[in-house]
Structure 1
Amino acid sequence: MMYQALSTSNQAELVELFSSVFNASEGEQEGAMLRQLTSQLAALIDHDAVMAFGAYEEGTLIGAIFFSRLQFESPVSVYMLSPVAVATEQQGQGVGQALIQHGLEILKERAVEVAITYGDPAFYSKVGFAPLSEELIQAPVKLSMPFGWLGQSLSEKPLPKLSGRPLCVEPFNDPNLW
């Protein structure tokens, strides 16, 4: 398996991967929502506000992750991991975990201090994420499932208390995603 940073030129294969994975696991409506989100995020990949990484096997994209910046009032560097997809036939083999670890290492190299995600605590705890209180770090919009708000420090310091709701990249301003 090979990992690589993805760019806007990977938009079509990213959209196809996320759409097929979420159509299969969550149904057509969720697949369509992820198709739109992935298309919007892929168009914004600039390796600053939005980063994406892919796992390839024999030239085929089998997993992909996005990180996007969350801007708080304080100068703490925070990125959100979302969305994540692994090809259906590759799931359960550690592809997603390895790809997330790869992405987190790149964030550490870039001196990012905090990584956040919103998802299944049972899965994301395997890669270091822990439940996060919104009293410590708020989500950009109201959460429908607060138990899925997760974070981890990427430095030697504990998670900081950050005031206010952060600004997120435009595609995540849709309350239906939360």
Structure 2
Amino acid sequence: MTDDTIKLSAFTTNATDDVIELFTQSFGDAEGEVEGKVIGHLVSELIVTTPETDLLGFVATIENKIVGAIFFSRLTLANKANAFILSPVAVSTAFQAKGIGQKLINFGLKQLKDNGVELVFTYGDPNYYVKVGFNPVSEDCIKAPLILTYPEGWLAQSLVGTEIEPIEGDSFCVDALNEQSYW
């Protein structure tokens, strides 16, 4: 597999079923069938319930087969900064550890930056996400939308080249992510 065999593009709703299956399968393989179904349902809800202006998705394909996908959804901050949260991302089990996830994240971040997004957040493994520019952010600096069970996983990066300044007040995610079990 070479870089030119991986095609990165915007998610379109005609790929909905394939993308839900990708998330269900890859999370199921990694964390068990129940978790796979939970994340598959999350992706379905993101696609169906999130306004088009508040959701950006991207896919990685090899020979016209979707092998990776990522979603970014609006995160509303008290200071009205243009912000999104990366969640979730999946790569087909057969294609993991080949850099596809990082390529997808970097591609998505570039698209967000090109569209005027200032801040991007995620909630996950800091050891993975620091490789693509995310850094831990304290809730004293910017509050997460819901209670974090793993505070070290609250991460952010500026897409405008400035240091992340504290933002007082609450933040709000899209309805599909507004479920404590995801946090």
Mapped pair 1:88 → 2:98: no
More divergent stretch after superposition (7-16 vs 24-33):
7-16
Q: Say how many residue pairs are matched.
A: 178
Instruction: Give 3-state SS (helix, strand or coil) of 1:61's partner.
Output: strand
Equivalent residues in 2 for 1:83-122, closer than 5 Å: 83-122=88-127
What do the CA deviations read for 1:34-67 (whole angstroms, capped 9, x no partner)?
A: 0110111122465420110000100000000000
Give the structure 1 partner of residue 3 of structure 2: none
The TM-score normalised by the length of structure 2 is 0.94
The residue type equivalent to 1:2 in the other structure is K
Q: Given that residues 7 and 46 in structure 1 are in contact (C-alpha distance below 8 angstroms), is that contact kept between their aligned partners in structure 2?
A: no
Q: Given that residues 8 and 44 in structure 1 are in contact (C-alpha distance below 8 angstroms), is that contact kept between their aligned partners in structure 2?
A: no
Give the structure 2 partner of residue 9 of structure 1: 14
- Matches of 1:10 and 1:169 in 2, distance apart? 21
Give the structure 2 partner of residue 79 of structure 1: 84
What are structure 1's unaligned runs of at least 5 residues? none
Q: How much does 1:73 deviate? A: 2.1
- Matches of 1:70 and 1:150 in 2, distance apart? 13
Give the structure 2 partner of residue 157 of structure 1: 162
- Matches of 2:156 and 2:17 in 1, distance apart? 30
The TM-score normalised by the length of structure 1 is 0.96
Give the structure 1 partner of residue 59 of structure 2: 54
- Matches of 1:104 and 1:82 in 2, distance apart? 13
Equivalent residues in 2 for 1:16-27, closer than 5 Å: 16-27=21-32
Q: How much does 1:29 deviate? A: 1.5
Of 136, 140, 143 in structure 2, the residue corresponding to residue 135 of structure 1 is 140
What do the CA deviations read for 1:54-85 (whole angstroms, capped 9, x no partner)?
A: 00100000000000011112121110000000
Give the structure 2 partner of residue 37 of structure 1: 42
Q: Given that residues 11 and 58 in structure 2 are in contact (C-alpha distance below 8 angstroms), is that contact kept between their aligned partners in structure 1?
A: yes
Identity %: 41
